[in-house]
Structure formats: structure tokens, C-alpha cells
Structure 1
Amino acid sequence: MANIPSNNHKTDGLLNSRENLQRLLGQIVEYPDRRAEITEIIENTFGDNKAVLVLDMSGFSRTTQQFGIISFLLMIHQMRSICEPCIQQNGGILVKAEADNLFCLFDQVVDAVTASQEMSACLKAANAVLPTERHLYASFGIGYGRILNIADEDIFGNEVNLASKLGEDIAGQDEILLSSSARAELAESEINTREENASISGILLTYYKVEQLSAFI
């Protein structure tokens, strides 16, 4: 029987790696009777309690159709160069960039919200000197909870999915939306939010919209 490792993936990269995850998943397939044991090993090795921030850049289809893919890739590059310092300055890390999305991790939800507000403000400042057709806009979804964190290179979990859904499908331009779990991590006085609901695939989803402060508008 395999020993269950402690959750020490931040110091032991050999345990927390894509290769090790694939090996463990392969063992579940090969030894289905050990599924519970190996699942516990995976959760102890890769499990992490984090705030997940997903940024979605607006206008992909419109800009690509009008100016071509190179123009939009340039806008993604500009967006990332503007936003990444805001992420780092608030204690976050950029886990991955996929198409026009950024996936980030923070220890605290309040830091993820602050980073989102600063990114929105910095994008607005950049738009002041950019041609109208090159303006940069983003929306933000934030979740919080137990996820699988693969060496700070990839992330999986329900709150990752919720943050993606909020940021990509529900949030409007410059909006910051929180999952219920993310909102529960905030002190009442830290961030002002408003409860809202949306129906997705017949399921009612409750989320919280951050009410923007004038300093970030």
C-alpha cells in the first residue's frame, strides 16, 4: 500500500508535478480497487485552499473579424503586460493564460478583488491613449475553495469552474463577480457586494457583484 504524502507541494516539486498526477490517475485505472486510497493521495498532494481569479478579455470575435488575429494577439499581449503587475503586487500568481483569459491564484479573496479593481483601472488608463478600436476591456470572476493546484501551472476544481463561468459568461465589462464561497470569505466591511442570480442550464446560480469604489472608476 502506498503511503499518503503530506500536503507539501510548495517545497517538493517531485510530488506536485503533471507527471506524478498522470501516474496516479493511471494507477486508478490500473488498480480500481485502490481508487479511494489513490484519490486521497492526489487530494493530499495537490489540494490547495485558494482564491481563484479568472479574467476574460472582451471583444475577441469582433476584433478578430475586423482587424485579424494578429491585432487581437497584440491586444492580449498588451492586456497581460498591464495586468500581471497588478496580480503580483497583490500577492497573486498568474497560473496560466489561455486565449484571452488569465487564470490567477491568491491566498485571500480580498486580494483577488483588489487586484481586479486595479487591473480594471489600469486598463482604463491605457485606453485613454489607445485608439478606440484598440481599447482593452475585461471582466472578472472569483471563486474560493479547495482546488487541485498542479505546481502553480494548472488548476482544477468546482470553484475554478465557477470563476470561469462568472468571468466569461455572466460578468459584463469591468464587472467583478464572486461565487458564494468567495463572498463568504470576505468580512462585511471589506468589500461592498450585491447579491444577484442567473439561470444557467436550468440551474439557478447565486453570485455577488462587487460594487465599484470611486477610486477605481
Structure 2
Amino acid sequence: MPYINQIQTSASESRLEKLIAERLKPGADKAKIDARIWDLFGETWAVMFTDLSGFSRSVAEFGIIHFLQIIYESQRLLVPCIDRYDGILLKTEGDSMLVIFRQARKAAACAIAMQRAAKRYNQDKPDTEKILLCVGLGYGKILKIGDRDVFGPEVNAASKLGEDTAKAWEILGTGTVAEHLKTLNKISLEPISTIPPGAKQAFRIIYPL
């Protein structure tokens, strides 16, 4: 299976590179090529970006070993939540994770479960070792290239919300995410003024912790 997955991912990237090369040629019909790219790679997914609050400061104060410990512990704690809610962890980068879900509701439910897991974990930990999670969510049509990466306005918006805007314990989502959460029990949606590029609206998901 790992070998098959490697072949499939490589084939996807190779096909995209060829189409981009065609797009760069003088006189290329870019609209037609773009339509082909969307036909090949366009899919609808919920996108989650996570980040750890205050992490850069912790690294500066406590060093790289502390940095690695917190990353290890956060992944050990949070990846089972991703599995339980049928998410796919595409990649990690430092203290951040990129995860995709077929349903926006499952992405939000997973984010809440992750925050609750972090709360339980933190109960007997000193402040320097607490996992303070920030989450950004997007939902819509994206370009999914194998199982390596995703691209699109909702990807960019989720990244901005999770990595730059959200504070510890916050779950922020775009307007398209909010549309799928209005009927969920025990949560509410609060508009926020910081609307990232790629989104028309953005909301804070208020949930019982």
C-alpha cells in the first residue's frame, strides 16, 4: 500500500506540472486548461489548520528540546481525535497540522473534541507544558493533489484563521463552515471582524468546553 500511494501521488503531481507547463506557453487557452485542472483535482472538503498559542515564545525561552516535547505530546493527544472523526492528516509543519474532512460538521466536532482533550491533558501540567490549541476551519471546493497538499481560497482562509487569528481555545470558521453548523446543538456562532482573504464571512464557534 505505501508503494501504491507513492505512485498515485507522483502521478497526480506529474499531471499537474504538465498542465501548468501548458498554461505557461504563449497563446495558451488558460481558461480551458484551468477547467481541466479543476476537473482532475477539484474536490469539496473541509479544511482544518491547527496551531499552538504562544509556541514561538516558548521555544525562545525553553529551547528546542522543549519544542520537540510539546509537538510530540500535542500530536499524541490530537491525532486520535482526527482518526475518530474521519479526518485525514495531510501534513505537519512545526506546531501546526493540516487536516481535511469530507464534512464540515465532523471537522467542527473534531475541533471541539481536540480542545476538550487538551483541557483534560492540561489539568495537572505546569503552564510551560500546557497545550493551548488554536483552530481554523474552511469548507468548499479545493484542489487536492494526491495526499500531499490542498490549494484554494478556503484553504488560505482556514490557514489564516487557525495560525494567525485564533487565540488559545478558539475555533474559528469561514461562512461556508458556519452554514453547516447552524443546526448543531449546544454550539453557537459569533461573527468576527477579522475576515481572511478567500472568505466572505468568519465566525467564532462558541462551544461548551
Moved over 6 A (4+): none
Please list, as runs of the form range in 1=range in 2, the aligned pairs for 1:86-165 lying within 5 A after superposition: 86-165=81-160
Instruction: Give distance in 2, aligned partners of 1:201 and 1:174.
Output: 19
TM-score w.r.t. the length of structure 2 is 0.87
Instruction: Give distance in 2, aligned partners of 1:14 and 1:163.
Output: 24
After superposition, the Cα gap between the structure-2 partners of 1:16 and 1:148, relative to the gap in structure 1 and judged at 3 Å, is farther
Partner of 1:5: none
2:140 is paired with a residue whose SS is strand
Q: Is the 8 A contact 1:142 1:176 kept in 2?
A: yes
Q: Is the 8 A contact 1:53 1:143 kept in 2?
A: yes
Partner residue of 1:211 out of 203, 206, 209 = 206
Q: How much has 1:139 moved relative to structure 2?
A: 0.8
Cα RMSD of the aligned pairs, angstroms, is 2.5
Instruction: Give distance in 2, aligned partners of 1:114 and 1:59.
Output: 24
Q: Is the 8 A contact 1:54 1:103 kept in 2?
A: yes
Query: What amino acid sits opposite 2:60 in the alignment?
Result: Q
Q: How much has 1:189 moved relative to structure 2?
A: 3.6
Query: What amino acid sits opposite 1:176 in the alignment?
Result: I
Q: How much has 1:132 moved relative to structure 2?
A: 2.4
Task: Provide structure 1 residue ranges, at least 5 long, that are not aligned to the other structure.
Answer: 1-9
Q: How many residues align?
A: 204
Q: Is the 8 A contact 1:194 1:211 kept in 2?
A: yes
Task: Provide structure 2 residue ranges, at least 5 long, that are not aligned to the other structure.
Answer: none
2:141 is paired with a residue whose SS is strand
TM-score w.r.t. the length of structure 1 is 0.84
After superposition, the Cα gap between the structure-2 partners of 1:91 and 1:200, relative to the gap in structure 1 and judged at 3 Å, is closer
Query: What amino acid sits opposite 2:35 in the alignment?
Result: E
Q: How much has 1:199 moved relative to structure 2?
A: 4.2
Q: Is the 8 A contact 1:195 1:206 kept in 2?
A: no
Per-residue CA deviations over 1:151-181 (Å, capped at 9, x if unaligned) read 1210111001111111122212111111001
Identity of aligned residues (%): 33
Instruction: Give distance in 2, aligned partners of 1:165 and 1:180.
Output: 14
- The alignment status of 1:27 with 2:15, answered yes or no, reads no
